[in-house]
């Protein structure tokens, strides 16, 4: 699933490709994609800006706010040529100059969601979003407050969009590896130094990842990751073997030496002894 870095790079691409374009019409090809009642076609509206909030892309026209969650396999593709609309397209924005933006969905479950609301109105998922890692207000003190108010494992905390927005399964693993913290450690138990380290890792890993994704050009390939998806590889920092543990539908990757004092976790047994 795309997370903050992939979405941020996509946002920049969309700013350069579709910002300022006049919409000829919106075509909804697969009704499931539109998650609220909207009967219009956005005719003659101008795309004024594209922003990102957590894992949502927000396209503002002069009259409406289009919020898009790509979920697992959704994508937005700008088509400048006469190329046909893909079979997997769920919606298309046609522009007055003949170019298009297609909303593509290649997955079968957890499908892309689009909300078209009056300008400045957002779906609940955005309204309930937590703080952005890149926001000025995201300080060590703010993070300390969020951590202290909760008793949950760090991995779940980082993936909780209502606490901090934009981080998912992959980058949560990268952040915790970078910070040298156990994914299973309980939020309220972090000391001051650990909170400072975690804050630093959240900010620096997100900035680093945006640059990496930008450079890779292919957002679906994350060859630059250090720990997520790297089971059996050697840790770049200490040489230990990266381990994985599955819990609910998420796989967590970690380095035992760097993060869990050498302990290896068992699947489904995230017991209190390993915090």
Residue number with CB closer to Zn ion (138 or 254): 254
Helix/strand/coil (H, E, C) string of the chain? CCCHHHHHHHHHHHHHHHCCCEEEEEEECCHHHECCCCCCCCCCCEEEEEEEECCEEEEEECCEEEEEECCCCEEEEEECCCCCCCCCEEEEEEECCCCEEEEEECCCCCCCEEEEEECCCCCHHHHCCCECCCCCCCCHHHHHHHHHCCCCEHHHHHHCCCCECCCCHHHHHHHHHHHCCCCCCEHHHCCHHHHHHHHHHHHHHHHHHHHHHHHHCCCCCCCCCCCCCCCCCECCCCCCECEEEEECCEEEEECHHHHCCCCCCECCECCHHHC
Residue number with CB closer to Zn ion (56 or 184): 184
Q: Which residue, judged by CB position, is nearest to Zn ion in the bound state?
A: 235
**Is 126 among the residues that bind Zn ion (CB under 5 A)?**
no
Run of H or E including 102:
strand 100-105
The CB-of-222 to Zn ion minimum distance in angstroms stands at 19
Residue number with CB closer to Zn ion (135 or 238): 238
User: Which span sits near Zn ion by CB under 5 A: 3-11, 21-29, 152-160, 249-257?
Assistant: 249-257
The CB-of-197 to Zn ion minimum distance in angstroms stands at 15
The CB-of-6 to Zn ion minimum distance in angstroms stands at 25
- Let me know: does 265 contact 174? Beta carbons within 8 Å: no
**Is 148 among the residues that bind Zn ion (CB under 5 A)?**
no
**Is 89 among the residues that bind Zn ion (CB under 5 A)?**
no
User: How far apart, in whole angstroms, are the C-alpha atoms of residue 156 and residue 43?
Assistant: 42
- Site track for Zn ion across 178-217, x = CB under 5 A: ----------------------------------------
The CB-of-181 to Zn ion minimum distance in angstroms stands at 12
Residue number with CB closer to Zn ion (27 or 237): 237
Number of residues that bind Zn ion (CB under 5 A): 7
The CB-of-257 to Zn ion minimum distance in angstroms stands at 5
The CB-of-164 to Zn ion minimum distance in angstroms stands at 24
Q: Which of residues 212-241 bind Zn ion (CB under 5 A)?
A: 235, 237-238, 240
**Is 150 among the residues that bind Zn ion (CB under 5 A)?**
no
Residue number with CB closer to Zn ion (89 or 242): 242
Q: Which residues bind Zn ion (CB under 5 A)?
A: 235, 237-238, 240, 255, 257-258
């Amino acid at each position: 699933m795309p997370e903050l870095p992939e979405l941020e790079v996509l946002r920049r691409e969309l700013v350069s490709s579709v910002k300022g374009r006049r919409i000829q019409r919106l075509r909804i090809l697969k009704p499931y994609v539109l998650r609220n009642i909207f009967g219009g076609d956005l005719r003659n509206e101008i795309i004024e800006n594209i922003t990102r909030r957590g894992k949502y892309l927000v396209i503002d026209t002069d009259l409406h706010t289009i919020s898009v969650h790509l979920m697992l396999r959704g994508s937005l593709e700008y088509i400048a040529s006469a190329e046909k609309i893909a079979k997997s397209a769920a919606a298309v924005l046609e522009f007055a100059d003949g170019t298009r933006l297609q909303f593509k969905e290649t997955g079968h479950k957890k499908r892309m969601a689009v909300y078209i609301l009056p300008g400045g109105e957002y779906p609940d998922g955005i309204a309930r979003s937590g703080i952005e890692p890149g926001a000025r207000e995201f300080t060590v003190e703010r993070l300390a407050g969020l951590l202290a108010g909760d008793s949950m494992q760090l991995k779940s905390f980082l993936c909780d969009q209502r606490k901090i927005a934009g981080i998912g399964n992959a980058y949560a693993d990268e952040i915790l590896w970078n910070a040298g913290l156990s994914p299973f450690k309980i939020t309220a138990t972090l000391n001051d130094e650990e909170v400072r380290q975690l804050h630093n890792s959240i900010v620096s890993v997100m900035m680093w990842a945006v640059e990496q994704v930008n450079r890779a050009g292919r957002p679906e390939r994350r060859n630059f990751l250090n720990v997520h998806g790297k089971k059996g590889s050697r840790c770049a920092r200490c040489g230990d073997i990266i381990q994985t543990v599955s819990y609910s539908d998420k796989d967590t990757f970690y380095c035992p030496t760097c993060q869990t004092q050498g302990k290896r976790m068992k699947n489904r047994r995230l017991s209190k002894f390993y915090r």
